[in-house]
Structure formats: structure tokens, C-alpha cells
Amino acid sequence: MSIASNIATFEQQLVGTSARLVVVTKTHPVERLQEAYAAGARIFGENRVQEMAAKQPELPADVEWHQIGQLQTNKVKYLAPFVHTVESVDSLRLLQELDKQAARHDRVIRGLLQFHIAQEATKTGLSLSEAEEMLQSAEYQALRHVRLTGVMGIATNSPDEDLVRGEFRQLRGYFEHLKKTYFVQDEEFCEISMGMSADYAWALAEGSTLIRVGSAIFGSRA
């Protein structure tokens, strides 16, 4: 099937939900991104900073770029002029650097708190207590050019539906706790980014608002 038909299939599945599609474009050439854009995709997710910075000028200005991979603070300056959302916020230090670099461009960068919900130790992210300690700090409350808009997590790579859905349910629980405790007046704190090509249907069932899909749209990478 073509990229366009695959995107259309996903968009159809999202009808009636509050979720949006993040097309994961890492390692794919600009021509394939342009094809996805022509098919209606507007949110593109990249893992590597250099790759996103190289592709961004080749795509229309209304693309919403999401950084979905771990982000080193020394790379923030390359994304600061244009990145919409950093989905992998895992430290106060990263938030402070995002704030500093966004201020230089007189803009606000959105961020999602990444939580460690999987059983695999190789996956990274915050614990709930670490996130709360950060949100309660004077350093976080002083930030003006970065805005947290939700949470993100990556489930265990497993065919066990009960396990994976349980992890997604845990992430939604974190979101709901943070919402009522720290963001009850903030309508923009509304995103739960969870679910990828293999498990997006389970994520949607558990309340995902952003599904990150690459291989199911572009095919497997070589």
C-alpha cells in the first residue's frame, strides 16, 4: 500500500477519538516526508536532532515537528528556532535549556514529560516522584519559554495485551494525577503520547491523544 493510503487508514481509525497521528519520519528521505505531507500528515516525529534540522527547511512551514528521541542539552540550540514539541523531557536541566534557547528566538517550546513505564531497563524516563519534585521546584516555576502540555511513555515491546495496556493505563494515571494536582487550570495540559505501530490500538483504547507511527506508514526500514 502507498504512504497516502496508509495515512488515510490511520486517520480513519482516529475518527471519533481525540487522538492525532504523529508520523515518525526518522531515517526516511525528504521525498517520502513530502509524500506524507501531500497525504495530509502535519505532525512529524524525529529521533535525531541533526536529521530534523536538515529536513525542516525542505518541508512547508505548517509542519508541527516533534522531537521524540532522547535529547541532549547541547543539541537544543539546533531545534529551538522551530521545534513544536519535545516529547522526551526527562530532566529539569533539559527544561531549563529549552527555556533558555526558546527565549533567544522569542517563542515558546512545548514539552511532554517522559515516564519510564516499561519493564525494559533500556527505556528511559522519569518516575512520578521525580516529576513531582521537578514541578514543585522554584527553578521550574521560573521558566517562561517552555510549556509542559502532557506526558509520554513507551510500553514494553511485548505481544501481551494485558501487560502493555496496563502500562498505558499507568501512564494515563500519571497524567490525571499531574493534571489535577499541578495543571488543573491549564487547558493546554492535555496530551498523552503513547502507542506506536505495534500497539497503537491498545493505546487508543487506554486514552492516547498522540500515536507515534512510522513503520506501519512507510514500511520497515532497511
Q: Which residues of 39-55 are buried (b: 16+ CB within 10 A; e: fewer)?
A: bebebbbbbebeebbeb
> What mean pLDDT comes out for the span 176-180?
98
Nearest to 86, CA basis, from 60, 113, 122: 113
Which cell numbers hold the place of 159? 505481544
Instruction: Say yes or no to pLDDT of 197 above 70.
Output: yes
Burial class (CB in 10 A: 0-12, 13-18, 19+), 15: exposed
For residue 121, what pLDDT is reported?
80
pLDDT range class, residue 221, cuts 50, 70, 90: low
Give the whole-angstrom CA distance, residue 156 versus residue 152. 14
Which cell numbers hold the place of 71? 535529547
Instruction: DSSP for 151-220, please give it.
Output: EEE---S-S-HHHHHHHHHHHHHHHHHHHHHH-TT-TT--EEE---TTTHHHHHHTT-SEEEESHHHH--
pLDDT range class, residue 123, cuts 50, 70, 90: confident
Residues 167, 172, 173, 179, CA torsion sign? positive
What pTM, to 2 d.p., does this model score?
Answer: 0.95
> What mean pLDDT comes out for the span 108-118?
97
Instruction: Say yes or no to pLDDT of 137 above 70.
Output: yes
pLDDT range class, residue 116, cuts 50, 70, 90: very high
Fold of 3-215: TIM Barrel (3.20.20)
The proportion of the chain whose per-residue pLDDT surpasses 70, expressed as a percent, equals 99
Burial class (CB in 10 A: 0-12, 13-18, 19+), 82: middle
Q: What is the rounded average pLDDT for all residues in the chain?
A: 96
Structural domain boundaries in the chain:
3-215
Give the whole-angstrom CA distance, residue 203 versus residue 94. 27
Q: At 209, phi and psi to the nearest 5?
A: -110, -10
> What mean pLDDT comes out for the span 74-96?
98
- Would you say 155 and 167 are in contact if contact means Cβ atoms under 8 Å apart? yes
Q: Which residue has the cell 490525571?
A: 176
